[in-house]
Amino acid sequence: MASASPDVLRAGTDQRVLELLYDGPRSRAELAAVGGISKPTASESVRRLETRGVVAETGERRHGVGRTATLIGIRADIGVGLAVSIEAGGVRASTHTVSGEIVQEAEVTLPPTHGPRSVAGALGKAVRAVAGSSDHPICAAAVSAADPVRRSDGRLVELPDAPFLVGSLDARRKLSPYVAGEVLVDNDVNWAAGAELSALPERPDFGYLHLGSGLGGAVVSDGEVRRGHHGFVGEIAHVIVPGPSGLAMPITDVFAEMGLRQPNSTAIDLNAVRRAFDDAPASAVLGQALAAVVGAFVALADPSEVIVAGPWGAAALPSLAAALSEGPRPAPLVAATVTDASATGVRDGAVAGLRSWVSAVAAAD
């Protein structure tokens, strides 16, 4: 069997050294010890990465027994990753280093009644605030939106009864003047499910149910968040469920029939729905409706469990569990573990994009 070429071996070593430096500066000796390579190999890898402008001596020194060691780190001026969350209340933007540390952050609030133009304006203002206050270029970006995202082009999609109206916002085009590399746009619930997966990688198959002002879902299978042909996997708002009178209807209509929506809005009234779970008949209706949604998860994705999240997720768990126990294929229900999961997920996406950018620079001739 042919052995790997020296160029391939060098590239693999450089990548390994980069990965070790993503968590913070280390000495050449530490890189060798942790990376399982010799000290001369580690030093030569650092030299190649310095030549490409990727790493540099930080000016810090580690004192211990014997000689003092100079620390090597990713160059601070190589760039940052941009994380953006587009939510009903406003747009949050932040830039991050390869280790995930925040460099700059900004938030632009939205008026109670807003349309697509207001959202686009807030997005631009928030991104300009973090881009203009930093000396570091934005190399990659990740965007989270509280709406479905079309997989083919990253545009947001407005579905019937959606509580948050953004139109067909093209976040990739909007951010292209500020971002040198890839702009990854995804639904907020997909980002949240990804954060749960990162927190507990030993659970590679689960359904994720978000219960808030809107209803959202995600499917994680074989350690990947599944998106489907159009990017609409987990869009549960129009799943047909039993309604208050026993008639079948989309689950969004259940909340309308029960008077659980905010005034003049399709958004669910969080306080009203929490109170509904204190009323036995209403709680049973909601439990059966949600159980039908979980049943769809179980039938199509065969998850090991369903993670229940969102502002009224905890209130819904007992009724949902009771309704599921009557079905032929009950699925274990667990509460979400990651706080502010969508924000955590999109931040991780921005950092991952930045690291990919840095790796590409390191591998360039």
What the chain holds in terms of domains, given with CATH numbers, is: 6-74 (1.10.10.10), 78-192+342-363 (3.30.420.40), 201-336 (3.30.420.40)
If one compares 147 and 287, the residue with the highest pLDDT of the two is 287
Q: Is the pLDDT of residue 318 over 90?
A: yes
> Angle 199-25-70 (CA atoms, 0-180°, nearest 5)?
160
39-51 helix and 28-35 helix, angle to the nearest 10 degrees: 120
Cα 125 to chain centroid distance, Å, stands at: 22
Model confidence at 89, in pLDDT bands (50, 70, 90)? Answer: confident
Can you give the pLDDT at residue 235? 87
6-21 helix and 39-51 helix, angle to the nearest 10 degrees: 80
Can you give the pLDDT at residue 185? 94
- Could you tell me which residues are beta bridge partners of residue 273? none
H or E element at residue 48: helix 39-51
- Comparing C-alpha atoms, which of 333, 285, 286, 289 is closest to residue 309? 333
High-pLDDT (> 90) share of the chain, %: 61
Query: Residues 91-110: what's their mean pLDDT?
Result: 94
If one compares 300 and 66, the residue with the highest pLDDT of the two is 300
Query: Residues 225-247: what's their mean pLDDT?
Result: 89
Structure-block tokens of residue 253: 């209509």
Q: Is the pLDDT of residue 2 over 60?
A: no
Q: Is the pLDDT of residue 69 over 90?
A: no
Q: Is the pLDDT of residue 121 over 80?
A: yes
Give the CA-trace dihedral at 75, 76, 79, 81, to 10 degrees.
Answer: 120
pTM of the model: 0.89
Query: Residues 103-125: what's their mean pLDDT?
Result: 86
If one compares 276 and 69, the residue with the highest pLDDT of the two is 276
